[in-house]
Amino acid sequence: MFKISGWGNYPKINCKVETPNNENEIQFHDNEKIIPRGLGRSYGDSSLQANKTIITKNLNKIISFDEELGVICVQSGISSDELLKVIIPKGWFLPVSPGTKFVTLGGMVASDVHGKNHHLEGSFGDHLINLKIKISNSEAIYCSDDLNSDLFWATIGGMGLTGIILEIKFKLKKIQSYKINQEVITTQNLEEVMNLFEKYKNSTYTVAWIDCLAKGNSFGRSVFFRGEHKKSKEKVTYDPKYSLRIPFFFPSWILNYFSIKLFNFFYFYFNKLFDKKEVDGDFFFYPLDKILEWNKIYGKNGFVQYQFIVPKKDSLKAIKEVLEKVAHSKEASFLSVLKLFKKGNKGLLSFPDEGYTLAMDFQANEKTFRLLKELDKIIIKYSGRIYLSKDSRLSKDSFFSMNYDSESLRNILDKYNIKNFHSQQSDRLSIL
């Protein structure tokens, strides 16, 4: 048994852990509860199962790679970090990248991850060709948009509840350079930053950081980033550098209302100094990866990330209400990230849908949980939902008030006789 957790270090539970070296070593009984786990970068309890948690990281081979067409088939435990080292020098990139490259491709499918380009290019599930899934101890099947398509769309964003994804075939994105031409624009409030998202809706990558503690005239002030891959005739190169590792858990008092307010002030004015410049792809897509194990700065008790989406017509109103509650509570988040999504795909538990999404980090404590309960009410009032990959504390009632199609998921599991896959999260929310 090992005490493990997601990236938020909350909750931590004792789990029996297995790390198979090949597909044949993945073994379980007919009525045993198990859950697959990649690199544990989901924040909460979606990759935890006390009875048996199966870590896929050693299933990390590239099965085939058509370098002309950019079609690749990989084992699910390969990390984005491992893959980028192979594909970038050949002039290809991931069609969708979350904010860290320390995730497995299996985890990317199971969370149907989004990047800064969702408003144009959708989520990772939109770029898949097919999947091979182990649905029971004795059976693995292929699925795609044409073959066993109900299982395919239940698995995209399905949080590991439909089986262990073994193989993923998908289409890469052609690039001429791993450099990004970035533009940074600071805005004084929320309306202004949303206008920028609309104005630049044809830019490939857009994202904004919001100062969620600013009040009065600066309420909702933001730093907006947009980026395009540089056009170039030179050979594409990739030279990742990792600079710092947080060696120990910080005492929890270090991050408080005042230290975060100070950070936000400097971050806002520092970014005002830049407008247009060329940056490295790693700097643009994965800024947090520069500091390894940065999750320790929240202290031993861990933290939670609260990420929600609300339909576009009400996004401004809902986000204002949320930020007012946060500012009023004096609970502070220093990484509040806003993105624009287009309409979502057919994934039954897939998170993205048309509207704005905001993600905020908070220390895990009773005061935070009380605040987040209040925020849940706002999200439900505006017919929004929260991202299961970030969740560790939502109640079952709130989950069922959010528009996730868990009933169709249960029907599909019955149809394919899939019984084994349960996480601490799916039990907490009674998804199955």
Residues in touch with ligand FAD (CB under 6 A): 6-7, 35-42, 46-47, 56, 76, 98-100, 103-104, 106-108, 110-111, 113-115, 159-160, 164-165, 288, 389, 423
The upper half-sphere exposure of residue 418, i.e. CA atoms within 13 Å in the direction of its Cβ, equals: 26
Q: How far is the C-alpha of 400 from the C-alpha of 141, rounded, in Å? A: 30
126: exposed, middle or buried (Cβ count in 10 Å: 0-12, 13-18, 19+):
buried
Nearest to ligand FAD of 165, 175 (CB atom):
165
Minimal distance, residue 302 CB to ligand FAD, in Å? 13
Minimal distance, residue 188 CB to ligand FAD, in Å? 25
Minimal distance, residue 288 CB to ligand FAD, in Å? 5
Tokens representing residue 389 in the block = 């990959």
Indicate the pairing of strand 179-187 with strand 303-311: unpaired
CA angle 339, 343, 344 (to 5 degrees): 90
The residue whose two tokens read 């088939």 is 73
Nearest to ligand FAD of 98, 214 (CB atom):
98
Nearest to ligand FAD of 26, 379 (CB atom):
26
- Angle formed by the axes of helices 312-329 and 190-199, to 10°? 150
Cβ neighbours of residue 69 closer than 8 Å, sequence gap 6 or more:
none
Minimal distance, residue 286 CB to ligand FAD, in Å? 8
CA neighbor of 166 nearest in space, from 216, 124, 104, 228: 104
Minimal distance, residue 348 CB to ligand FAD, in Å? 14
Minimal distance, residue 164 CB to ligand FAD, in Å? 5
Nearest to ligand FAD of 160, 227 (CB atom):
160
Q: How far is the C-alpha of 24 from the C-alpha of 263, rounded, in Å? A: 50
